[in-house]
Amino acid sequence: MDTILESRTKQVIIGADKPFCIIGERINPTGRKAFAEQLRGGDLSTVAADARAQAEAGADMLDVNAGIPLVDEADLLSQMLKIVQEAVDLPICIDSSVIEALEAGLAVYEGKPLVNSVTGEDERLEEILPLVGRHGAAVIGLANDETGIPETPEQRLDIARKIVSVAGDHGIPPQDVVIDPLAMTVGADTEAVTTTLQTIKLIRDELGVNMCLGASNVSFGLPERHALGAAFLPMAAAAGLTSAIMSCARPVVDAVRATDLLLGHDAWGASWIAAHRARKAHEEAVATR
């Protein structure tokens, strides 16, 4: 099942037989105090720089989030989306829990975005899905609902199934629903990753839809987070995860591209070898400057 996303000029396909879709996580003020202060003060200069840096580092898409307390999120998100669309030609994941912000974001977006996100809560489904359907967008569906975050993979599957079904009622086909199987921090629960991996396998086998998760959650509070992300993503991809909102730090991106090659999604290592040659050529150019 292929999920097609589009910027003004570029198409990205998320699919089980495609290279893993890397969605850069960085344009998000959550946990970035200095960036949040800049945005609050009307200084949006970091947004374009972060967009370019992540595209350069290998992102296929970019997540854009404007969630700052007591700020007009609809207005800020629209401004940020315009800047990112000017800076790079990657499709965008429009990220907000505020319906008005999603509405404003969808209004300024050129192409087919991924809306991040809806949950299995009835109220959220009825608010957000009509909007997604009207704009012909795709949507991330989080496998939690009114009862919270389910502990078992089976319960998460049930919620995923409900989201896909209700999306269908709103004219959104299964290929435009990307399920988030939920990755919790392993520092708080030693079973967290095992549960996530089982959920991914179950959703792949039972629903066959694409999946996306916030990969950095896993390592929250632990040291050497890039090394943990670089180990988590190959496991998740082998289980059936097809995209992630993630760090674009080199070890993490390398782990994902190595996984593409190992799983047969980079035939004969063509992309891997080309990236290696480009990197070596760059290093030699720098060395002889």
Kindly list the residues in this chain that would bind a copy of itself in the complex (CB under 8 A).
Answer: 186-187, 190-191, 193-194, 197, 218, 222-224, 227-228, 230-232, 234-235, 237-239, 251, 254-255, 258-259, 261-264, 267-269, 272-273, 276
Q: Are 128 and 105 in contact (CB under 8 A)?
A: no
Tell me how far, at minimum, the Cβ of 268 lies from a copy of itself, in Å: 7
CB 237, min distance to a copy of itself, A: 8
Helix or strand (DSSP H, E) at 140: strand 138-142
Cβ pair 52, 86 in contact under 8 A? no
How long is the chain? 289
Nearest in space to 217 (alpha carbons), one of 194, 186, 195: 186
Nearer to a copy of itself, 20 or 109 (CB): 20
CA gap 214, 265 in Å, rounded = 22
Q: Which is nearer to a copy of itself, 28 or 196 (CB)?
A: 196
Residue 275 beta carbon to a copy of itself: minimum distance, rounded to whole angstroms:
9
Residue placing its CB nearer to a copy of itself in the complex, 16 or 44:
16
Q: Which amino acid is at 155?
A: Q
Least distance from a copy of itself to the Cβ atom of residue 247, Å:
14
Taking the complex as a whole, the smallest distance from the CB of residue 231 to a copy of itself amounts, in Å, to: 4
User: For residues 64 and 230, which CB has a smaller minimum distance to a copy of itself in the complex?
Assistant: 230
Of 263, 217, 215, 213, nearest to 238 by C-alpha is 263
Q: Which residues contact 273 (CB under 8 A, 6 or more apart)?
A: none
- Return the number of the residue (267 or 287) whose C-beta is nearest a copy of itself: 267
Distance, CA of 200 to CA of 216 (rounded, Å): 17
